[in-house]
Amino acid sequence: MISVIIPIYNAAQHLPYMLQSLKEQSEKELEILLMDDGSTDASADICRLAERRDERMHYLHQENAGVSAARNHALSQANGEYIAFLDADDTIEPNYFSELRIACSKADIAVCDVVIETEEGKSLSRFTAGVQTLTSQQALNRLLTRKEINSGPCGKLFRRSVVEGLRFPALKAYEDILFVKDAFAQSNYIVSTAKTAYHYRQNAGSTMDHLKRSPSLDVVSATEELLKFISQHKDLDAACLYITISHLYQYVLALDVHDDAAKTFRDAVRQLYRNYWTSILSCSAFPWKEKIVYSLFAWNRF
């Protein structure tokens, strides 16, 4: 059986579409945990109705505590041999779970294509690793360089044994990639399939959209955790360090220089770059011009 965990917070507008795509699944052995994180809209009513109509659906509720707490709560209640995570405002294809289950029969984790779409359903980009079997190291290289495998827990099926002791950290940002990298690190093999896809809806006003405009210090904290992990795993590609450092700098570039919160964020990034300055200078993946830019920024030269 597959335990499907769906954190829900004020998702009444899109939740019915996700529930419909679950009803259309060719895989029937599902335990669907509808984890309401203190919604104030009609989400709870939609979940309770779904629970009455389908015995596989189970409504859970907690006071609003964030997506990490919601996923962790549901994870503690899951009974399946496999664990899957979905977001309430996205959709999946009818063969989603059947194809992931087939792929995962020969691995610890299965991943599929993830399609990034507009609210109107227009495709913007696609993560795909094709059809292949990856070692833990190979999968981590793709995850940490943001190539082929998306950073979140969606679009993946985990053996319960792989995530048994894992929990999402209590952060407002990047908690997803921290969980996934730990799961990958604990796996022997990760299998990818291109026979199905997860459809991620890019909503205006979403958490990620807000983070781009007003980044939380959690972004810096999560980046620091990633850098610690990368520094401890010397066998990873140099590009993992480069992408992690440069990805954080994109937030800096978008900041309003006159905003006090922006100054606090910028100063935190400067300090983190100073801590990893020698790693940046010695990393072969950094062009020399960018090494100069990051060095000048880290030491407050601009």
Is 252 contained in some domain?
A: yes
Is 150 contained in some domain?
A: yes
Number of residues in the chain: 302
- pLDDT tens digit at each of 302 positions of the chain: 999 999 999 999 999 999 999 999 999 999 999 999 999 999 999 999 999 999 999 999 999 999 999 999 999 999 999 999 999 999 999 999 999 999 999 899 999 999 999 888 788 999 999 999 999 999 999 999 999 999 999 999 999 999 999 999 999 899 999 999 999 999 999 999 999 999 999 876 555 555 666 789 999 999 999 999 999 999 999 999 999 999 999 999 998 777 888 999 999 999 999 999 999 999 999 999 999 999 999 988 76
Q: How many CA atoms lie within 13 A of 77 on its CB side?
A: 20
Is there a single domain that holds both residue 196 and residue 291? no
Is there a single domain that holds both residue 137 and residue 190? yes
Is there a single domain that holds both residue 142 and residue 286? no
* Phi, psi values for residue 117, rounded to 5°: -130, 160
Identify the CATH number of the domain in which residue 194 sits.
Answer: 3.90.550.10
pLDDT at residue 210, rounded to an integer: 56
Is there a single domain that holds both residue 198 and residue 225? no
Is 209 contained in some domain?
A: no
Is there a single domain that holds both residue 196 and residue 168? yes
Q: Which of 181, 203, 225 is the last residue of a domain?
A: 203
Is there a single domain that holds both residue 49 and residue 181? yes
Is there a single domain that holds both residue 198 and residue 86? yes
Is 87 contained in some domain?
A: yes
Q: Which of 203, 222, 239 is the last residue of a domain?
A: 203
Is 208 contained in some domain?
A: no
Alpha helices (H) in the chain, listed in sequence order? 15-23, 43-53, 67-77, 96-104, 136-144, 160-163, 175-185, 207-213, 217-232, 238-253, 260-275, 277-282, 288-298
Is there a single domain that holds both residue 182 and residue 38? yes
pLDDT at residue 55, rounded to an integer: 96
Please give the tally of structural domains in the chain: 2
Instruction: Identify the CA nearest to 183 among candidates 223, 220, 219, 155.
Output: 155
Is there a single domain that holds both residue 15 and residue 160? yes
Is there a single domain that holds both residue 40 and residue 158? yes
Domain coverage including residue 294: 214-298
Is 269 contained in some domain?
A: yes
Is there a single domain that holds both residue 232 and residue 138? no
Q: Which of 203, 224, 248 is the last residue of a domain?
A: 203
Is 242 contained in some domain?
A: yes
Q: Is the dihedral of CA 9, 14, 15, 21 positive or negative?
A: negative
Is there a single domain that holds both residue 289 and residue 166? no
